[in-house]
Amino acid sequence: NEDQYKKSKDYIDKLIKKGQKITTELKPYQNFWPAEEYHINFYKIHKDEPYSQTVITPKIEKVKEYLNETKANK
């Protein structure tokens, strides 16, 4: 909805002003397709797989670090 769009846009703009590179696009809702069964809980099931370790785990760690920094700055 419009409120969600505005909040997201404002937050992305704030991150960009802080020098963050943002690759996320905000687009209006069009269609939604549920994930295939083998994609559901992929990381939870395949945490030790090379893809998970090289791609997903570093992203999760980065988010955790950011959230901890955000908490510390409050």
3-state secondary structure of 61: helix
Q: Fill in the amino acid letter for 38.
A: Y
To the nearest whole number, what is the mean pLDDT of the chain?
Answer: 93
pLDDT of residue 1: 85
Query: Does pTM surpass 0.75?
Result: no
Give φ, ψ of 14 to 5 degrees: -65, -45
Domain residue extents for the chain = 1-32, 35-74
3-state secondary structure of 70: helix
pLDDT of residue 49: 97
d(CA 43, CA 39): 9
pLDDT of residue 72: 87
d(CA 33, CA 25): 18
